[in-house]
Amino acid sequence: MASSENSADEFCARSFDFVVVGGGTAGLAVAARLAEDPSLTVGVLEAGVAPGWDDDIDIPGCSGRALGGPYDWHFKTVPQAGLGGRTLPWNRGKVLGGSSALNFMTWNRASREDYDAWEALGNPGWGWDALLPFFAKSETFHPPPAGFRDQHGAFYDAPTDILGTSGPINVSYTTEFSPSHALWHPTLNSLGIESNKAHLSGNNVGVWTTICAVNPDNGTRSYAPHYCAGTGSGLPPANLHILTEALAQEIVLEQKDGDREWTATGVRFNRQGREYVVSVTHEVILSGGSVQSPQLLELSGVGQPEVLVAAGVQVKVDSPRVGENVQEHIMLPLVFEVDPSVPNPDDLQREDVAAAAREQWLKDHSGPYSVLPVSMSYLSLSQLLPQETHASLATRAQSLSNLPLAQQSILSSRFSPGTLLGQVEYVFDLGNWNPSFQPDPASGKKYGTMLQILQYPFSRGSIHIQSADIARQPRIDPGYYAGAHGALDLEIMTRCAQFAAKICATQPLASIIQAPASPGKGVKSEDSERLKEWVVNNTITDWHPVGTCAMGGSPGKAGGVVDERLRVYGVKGLRVADASVMPLHISAHLQATVYAIAEKAAQMIREDLAVVG
């Protein structure tokens, strides 16, 4: 989709009812839904470009190649003591569409209990039942043929009203699968893990094949810009104006008519070396994501006074939770040597193989570039660990005191005997996914990776500005494995890595596994200290940060940054709508939930506008 504006001067001359800061996953969805009312004029500021066609975005099998490239913000963490001092990249999308243009297109939902927990924290309207219509509104689900379902474990939920049929994002099962996928369901089934044939209906526990944000009509990625291109021209509707390559620097806050409370009246931004200010009549909606939404709030004078003063920013609103409460899925890539005769995506690193695969995909959307990692399983700790180990971890969880009491109560309750929640995710895919494992290409060996991902981390961190300059990256400290709470995460990941190895030692998946590669044979699963050391040195991000502008719930500003209608505490006319508002992490990949948040945000904004009007 092309940008609808070429001139910043013309953009700023318009009279906007709403301006959305960030043309990413949530931002474009909110803007497009607001613009469905032709009486409203909506603007979007996006720092990245409008990409046009790009293999690295549009072809499913090229997903991941854009990470670290021109569409990436190139964020990185500060050195992590819990990771032996390592610094991790935190890739985020700097492009129209945001991270929905860079991700691996997984489309799933968390369990009912995850969203009900948000509501239990004091955020009415954010439970499963209230959110479900917004999930469905965002999507158009394309069912697979009946025989296809049984052959590939590609089951979908009944009743079908659980799934959307007319939303902007097309979701479907891939038409081709990795050779290892045929082994996935029977392997987990033989370990007593049942296939979940209704994994989108409020319980994701079990083994299943994920659907993806892929349009089956043309085989391409379906992502946020498709919210804005429904006219057939590829351009947004006439009342939606999108300005790309426009870097927001500050939300303009003013105190009107002697009012002590601040009001958002516009946005100051930079484009091509010039500064501009765009004004807004009703609201600014901040959709910068979990890194940049708190950054922009702080640059605008909303945050912890000590952080703002140290950065040289005027304190306008004392908001102690801005940038706090960072939660991130913690991922561990265990690599195995596999049968070299099995087709492997690492083969695409050869130019001739990649060229042939691209030609095949362009011809009929088939071949290696139509394949995505879809072999998934979400399991509870009670399924993964011996009863004695599980009980010991539960005791440790109950003794922690660093978290807010309500969060602590919910997290520790998930260790109760018989709890069936997806506490750990496993994904198997052929190819080497571990950036720390660099084998000799001349060896001729091929690899597969078991990804183990902790869904409800106790580790907490923060994201804060370091100066008043938007060009200086914020200080990103997710606190991986830090403190007593992080030590519990490390213990869980170490214990569960033994189960990951068990999966790969079980038939029929074991039929293509030849040897452990990372950790190697020298690290025995029963040697917990050596395995723990390997976990510390190989843990990576899953690109799912949340919580930095969380809904405050019952404590209000003391517990978060926005209320249940996503209005920023202490500021009129300013909301946040993106993954940063999630108060607790969920057992799912994020994009489907982020679209649901955006859909709900747009409805609430229009409801509140009607009341004011």
Binding residues for FAD: 95, 543-544
Q: How far apart are CA 361 and CA 411, in angstroms?
A: 45
Q: How far apart are CA 22 and CA 20, in angstroms?
A: 6
- Look at residues 441, 478, 377, 400 and name the one whose alpha carbon lies nearest to residue 77: 478
Active site residues: 544, 589
Handedness of CA 534, 536, 537, 539 (dihedral sign): positive
Give 302's contacts (C-beta < 8 A, 6+ positions apart): 251, 253, 316, 317, 319, 322, 568, 570, 571
Nearest to 411 by CA among 492, 309, 295: 492
Tokens of 301: 């004078």
Question: 52 — alpha (psi -120 to 50), left (phi > 0) or beta?
Answer: left
Q: Looking at residue 77, what DSSP letter applies?
A: P
Burial environment of residue 249 by CB neighbours within 10 A (0 to 12, 13 to 18, 19 or more): buried
Instruction: Please report the sign of the dihedral spanned by the C-alpha atoms of residue 541, residue 544, residue 549, residue 551.
Output: negative
**In whole angstroms, how far apart are CA 240 and each of 18, 65, 211?**
10, 31, 30
Contacts of 13 (CB under 8 A, 6+ apart): none
**Side chain identity at residue 327, one-letter code:** Q
Which DSSP category does 41 fall into? -
Burial class, 365, CB count within 10 angstroms (exposed 0-12 / middle 13-18 / buried 19+)? buried
